[in-house]
Structure 1
Amino acid sequence: MTSRVSAAIDAAHAAGRGALVGYLPAGFPDVSTSIEAAVALAESGADVIELGPPYSDPVMDGLVIQEATQTALANGFRMRDLFTIIREVTARTDVPVLVMTYWNLVEQCGVDRYADDLAAAGGAGLITPDITPDAASAWIAVSERTGLDRVFLAAPTSTDERLDMIVRASTGFVYTVSTMGITGERTQLDAAARGLVARLREHGAAHSCVGIGISNAEQVAGVIEYADGAIVGTALVKALRDGGVPALRELASELSAGTTRRA
């Protein structure tokens, strides 16, 4: 089955660009605005959308995203709302929507049921930051059945053996963590990301997208020099928080301008 996420990245490459992957918390600041924000992201140049369901203990997220998820929960977000949001967004755009989720939320629902609900809503797959391929046999089997993409994370500290396992298990792309630690903006991207992407290529990764720390078009352009795509989260969430959907749309357009590959 063809990976919709891989196809989107390949389409960007065919147009002379790297891919822009944009993250937003599902239900922030409320469900209806969350839908409009994701659609605006797609309309402003994002090639892939990541939606993160709010979680009560978001240990991997920086302060901006933590506060946004708390706002969504305070405004009444429920897990069933995630699939409503995805259904509404995918009805209005062809940009693939991945869910970036803590694994506990999937297990609470049941892996089969979660995957079936995600596929029925038009979702493209899952990014699973806190589960490794060797612990994800149930998810791998279900994703094969449903045709959903499975995106695993690779870090600069990953051994060659682990990178090989991650590359073999991932579809869509490998989420390449540029720095160790929580998400958030960095003024200087870690040079380790470049070395990690090179190592992933040596292990056969078709697509590697770099995330954590990218906040402006210049940084997007820098990542696109060596990676297949740039992932932006915190900066987009901050724009939505401070200026609503119009500010998000403006920033996404600026970030998209950084994806054009230099001759």
Structure 2
Amino acid sequence: MKLKFTKMHGAGNDFVVIDAINQHINFTPAQWRFIADRRFGIGADQILVVERPVQPDVDFRYRIYNADGGEVEQCGNGSRAFVQFVIEKGLTDKTSIRVETMSGIIEPRLEADGKITVNMGAPVLEPSRVPFLSESLTASHQGDDSLWPLEINGKQAWISAVSMGNPHAVQVVASVDDYPVQVDGPLIENHPRFPKRVNAGFMQILDRRHIRLRVFERGAGETLACGTGACAAAVTGIHRGLLDSPVRVSMRGGELSIAWKGEGHPVFLSGPAVTVFEGEINLSEIQ
């Protein structure tokens, strides 16, 4: 079968976006992996699928598949690409939409300057709901945040566990350039304290409104940007009393802006979404 697709990115976090409203989609994990493969397929960190909504009072359903073929709950940069896609394709004439995801409803909107802002909902800070297994651990406290000791590669890292619809472990490092992200990232991702695996964030604080960030994403490896990772890092820094909202987040693929008023309030993610090219791919031989 031939599949029509659009290649997009948000700050270098790249996606294959598929219209499943006007074409039939029923793929195997092997086919998702083939699409995401950078040598044999199209290449992407995540694959985004646009569907008709299941719930009432919602405009679309949004599904996300990582490069390893697994479906995941949320993708902040992808949500911005999603909005750009449905507007460009004429699937909606709204500039603000309600979108159903595996982790709940998000409300992205297209701003007058062309950037897209997404209401990502309130962060989850209770360890058991991230989920993070904190039993038998003693937390250290900084500001209003709890830091948890995690044994990684023979050393102890202090992480904040937070969910933005998907799980994140965020730690402050002296330099994101010097930190061994490629070594520690997969160890944190697959740490037994995180039963659903986790996105590992490494945050360098430049000043109270500016950070640098690298994220080793669950099921995708290190990406050039991570929207939910940027949200989780900003929330962590504000909760610890180290940052003030809004926070400018510089990643290897570009910059995002995160605003958060504190516990109980939603996180707002703003940044660009870019269409790169469109095409068709033949999946007939991939089972």
Q: Which has the higher helix share?
A: 1
Structure with bigger gyration radius? 2
TM-score above 0.5: no
Q: Which has the higher strand share?
A: 2
Instruction: Sort the TM-score into its range (normalised by shorter chain).
Output: 0.3 to 0.5
TM-score after normalising by structure 1: 0.34
TM-score after normalising by structure 2: 0.32
